[in-house]
Chains A and B, each alone.
Chain A
Amino acid sequence: MVTIRHWAVRHARGLERFYRGFAQLLARLDPLWRRLGYSRLEAPVARVEHAVKGLLFDCRMCGHCVLSDTGMSCPMNCPKQLRNGPCGGVRANGHCEVEPDMKCVWVEAWEGSQRMRHGDRIHAVQLPVDHGQQGSSSWLRVARELSHDADPSPVQR
């Protein structure tokens, strides 16, 4: 799958555009998701999400997707699961300290971010992962959060 992962980083800009449109679409469909019930959708959507993102990005379903902030290179593939940039052990050829045959996930992330319109989002500090969210759908979370952001009435999160 590593080849597809590389492809995703090379096409980070296109994927970024697609993802933004997709997120807005998900958010616009919020009334539908609500009618169907977010909790009922969770399992099937997570399965589809895992299949699609697993293929494209080797997604690990951390439940907090940050791909658009990390040059479309999934940070959970870093053996140290760093969420904020490369460790100090990156090899001179740009490969990983822990897995010498793999290109450092963050070297890829940096290259991907340079191709993106909002690539400077890579400079934002990411919060630690909430391990309780492991396996849950980021798509539904985005739909919920974006639509609530747009909704002026106070909503409990």
Chain B
Amino acid sequence: MKFEDEPVPGYSLPILPGHVSPGRLERVLRAGKFAVTTEIDPPDSADPAEVLKRAAIFDGYVDAINATDGSGAHCHMSSVGVCSLLTRVGYATILQMSCRDRNRIAMQGEILGAAAMGACNVLCLTGDGVQAGDHPQAKPVFDLDSMSLLEIARAMRDECRFQSGRRIDLPPRVFLGAAENPFVPPIDWRPHRLAKKVAAGAQFIQTQYCFDIERMRDFMLKVNDLGLLEGPDRVFILVGLGPLASARSARWIRDNVPGVHIPDAVITRLEGSSDQKREGKNLCMDLLHQVRDIPGVSGAHLMAYRQEHSVAEIIETTGVLEGRVPWYPGRDNPAERNPESMEAEAVQGHSVTDAT
């Protein structure tokens, strides 16, 4: 997909009629293409080159990159920092904002700052509890929840005002997203809770890891019945997927990462394989195929923690992009390359030989 009004990297696209943001992700989704997003593992470092290197791994395979915000309540480079570095060279980013660490004053300021730096998408999250992370002594803030953050962000954009009512001169033009977990109790409430998020302003959803295709199908049926996939205020659903490294790590994730539901059948399948890592990737590709065929699903969100190099292979093999090459720095003009992309390619070559 090539946009005719392609800007100089670091500058935004024009906002099309019916769109709220100048970003690529919203355009791809509204054009009805199957979108692919992924997330960057933010460095424990102040090195900008490291961020660019980690982004280059996904060049040509994803429509937007999530910058996680202290995910799992662990401390890393901030999501605004990561987004700012990436948007400078033109990448489409999704700014994750978790309510765990900041109050409403900080969060509204951050939305303005991130939008000014070119972040076009904001994912509003509640966030994991501090007990899950490396600083359990920290004060959990939770001044807002993801729902009220969505409402506040929407009012900032559409009504040009802070929650206090004070005016904003130039509003943040952001496409608003939220997370949902269709796989944990209360299961029958989850579709309604999604409806509530849409009412609060969510325009796209990235789900928790999906390893249970039946539950995903049921969820989509109900979401469709609630009328959330039609009309100008429709929501776009991107299903979370990722390769499991082994049966052991699957068990560990199930027991230790809040909210990840992995059925026994998945673990048995991995255990039965002589190459569990390979099988983990195969499973992910099978799920991606199945997810693409669920009516109403608009895309996939690949979370391949510590297996980032496998994203390219998974996308390539499954062909979900149908020949589309999402924009990346240097796609149309080699002079605009991400300065760190050479090194990333070298590493990628290495990891492919590793896997074979």
> Which residues of A come within 8 Å of B, CB atoms?
79-92, 94, 97-98, 104, 106-107, 110-111, 123-129, 131
Bound Cα distance A122, B127 (Å)? 22
Residues A89 and B258 in contact, CB atoms below 8 Å apart = yes
CB distance from A1 to the nearest CB of B (A): 22
Bound Cα distance A126, B192 (Å)? 15
A92-B261, A97-B258, A125-B196 known; A84-B184 Cβ under 8 A: no
User: Of B126, B152, B193, B208, which one neighbours A128 at CB under 8 angstroms?
Assistant: B152
- Check B11 for interface membership: any CB of A closer than 8 A: no
Residues B147 and A84 in contact, CB atoms below 8 Å apart = yes
Residues A123 and B140 in contact, CB atoms below 8 Å apart = no
- Check B6 for interface membership: any CB of A closer than 8 A: no
Residues A97 and B129 in contact, CB atoms below 8 Å apart = yes
CB distance from A75 to the nearest CB of B (A): 9
- Check B151 for interface membership: any CB of A closer than 8 A: yes
Residues B259 and A86 in contact, CB atoms below 8 Å apart = no
Of chain A, the residue at the smallest CB distance from B152 is: A128
Bound Cα distance A9, B128 (Å)? 26
> Which residues of A are found within 8 Å of B163, using beta-carbon distances?
128
- Check B181 for interface membership: any CB of A closer than 8 A: yes
CB distance from A118 to the nearest CB of B (A): 15
- Check B131 for interface membership: any CB of A closer than 8 A: yes
CB distance from A6 to the nearest CB of B (A): 16
CB-contacts of B106-137 with A (<8 A): 126-129, 131-132
Q: Is the interface of A mostly helix, strand, loop or mixed?
A: loop
User: Of B100, B127, B189, B200, which one neighbours A86 at CB under 8 angstroms?
Assistant: B189
Q: How many residues of B contact A (CB 8 A)?
A: 37
- Check B186 for interface membership: any CB of A closer than 8 A: yes
Of chain A, the residue at the smallest CB distance from B208 is: A88
User: Of B143, B144, B186, B259, which one neighbours A89 at CB under 8 angstroms?
Assistant: B259
CB distance from B259 to the nearest CB of A (A): 4
Residues A97 and B259 in contact, CB atoms below 8 Å apart = yes
Residues B179 and A88 in contact, CB atoms below 8 Å apart = yes
CB distance from B190 to the nearest CB of A (A): 9
CB distance from A87 to the nearest CB of B (A): 5
Most buried by B among A88, A98, A110: A88
Bound Cα distance A11, B179 (Å)? 32
Bound Cα distance A107, B208 (Å)? 19
Residues A128 and B148 in contact, CB atoms below 8 Å apart = yes
Of chain B, the residue at the smallest CB distance from A79 is: B129
> Which residues of A are found within 8 Å of B192, using beta-carbon distances?
123
Of chain B, the residue at the smallest CB distance from A75 is: B145
CB-contacts of B303-333 with A (<8 A): none
